[in-house]
Amino acid sequence: MAVEIRTCTPDELRQGMSPIFHFFGRSVDDAGAERFDRVIPPDRMHAAFDGGAAVGGAGAFPFELTIPGGRVRAGGVTMVGVLPTHRRRGILTQLMRAQLDSLHERGEPVAYLWASEGVIYPRFGYGMAALGGMLSISRTRSAFALPFERVGQVRLVGADEALELVPPLYEHVATETPGMFARTRAWWESRVLADPAWRREGGGELQRAVLEVDGRPEAYALYRLKPDFEYGNSTGQTSVVEAMGVTAAATRETWRFLLDVDWMESVRAMLLPIDHPLWFLLAEPRRMRFTVWDALWVRLVDVGEALRARSYEKGEPVVVEVADSFCLWNEGRWRVGGGDVARVDEEPDLRLDVTALGSVYLGGFTFAQLARGLRVEELRLGAIARADALFRTDRAPWCPEIF
């Protein structure tokens, strides 16, 4: 019997999610499925059915993704997996084909994801678009480089109050940061502020802290404490889930609060931007033991629309020839700059694959970096420098959560 690839009905949504849950060693119980039931419509979940049983799946959240200069409709690709009983049969390729075709038909010009295995997604046009980091620092080595006058007051809030105070702060940062997406109230309730036991990883309950300056919320932190003792001494850890502020001073205050939580020996944080302000706030930044790895991967589903949605710096236009063997409608030459993006027949200045274009789209990498990695061909002298001038951004792309 042939495997059937199609979207799920409402009754099949959890079944379509089951293949990826298998790889996390869990079944799709009510608690786990609730994180998805409220935020992904069934027709956004493609599944591979064999004899009525789901053996593979691939979902896409309907996101509004921040890009340089604004936001664009995007598919936040998630829950991609094929059961080991059905590997090496081309099922993943069929799922990716169906999903990208669907995103194209819906008019969503960009798809992006976190890759569990980075080797998989370039086959389908995704390019590494952002780096992320993790830190682990001893509280005794967390002094700041410069003295400063404390501002505001941090207070712990309950879940209901956090639901009112925290989202506007996130949204302020999200509209300025490529890679972040607009969160709905359902997303906050079922994902960010939800605190099921399985998410704690040995830590305590989710703590919610809000910094108020002159009575106005300006920053927040979500964290867990993992208390432990050895020979009577604390070896506990403050595990930061998410922390950000609407001003540099508010961000500084929030991190000083997190680095000063009593009883804890160290502070650990993941999913950080590589240009995090702690690099310059800390007196000894190397004490963070900052570890870097690939974070977001971007796929331009509709090259023309995706490029038109983005802003550019002033500069001489460049003509880019794009190769895209998986989505042939993208292949061609595109003139970027001069206040316009258009498909043209002109001789190209640069030649690259759609994966490389995805890498520069959010501003996480430059054309010069791609050239040094032999991922772009400069056909006219100076074209790489001109392209970098057009695509320049002032901050690294970042997404504070894996979706």
Is residue 346 a contact partner of residue 319, using CB atoms and an 8 Å limit?
Answer: yes
Amino acid letter for position 353 = D
Is 126 marked active-site? no
Is 403 marked active-site? yes
Considering the candidates 121, 312, 365, 391, report the single residue annotated as catalytic: 121
Residue 350 CA to residue 343 CA, distance in Å, equals 14
- Nearest by Cα to 111 from 124, 120, 123: 124
Residue 238 CA to residue 397 CA, distance in Å, equals 25
Is residue 285 a contact partner of residue 255, using CB atoms and an 8 Å limit?
Answer: no
User: Mind telling me the catalytic residues?
Assistant: 121, 403
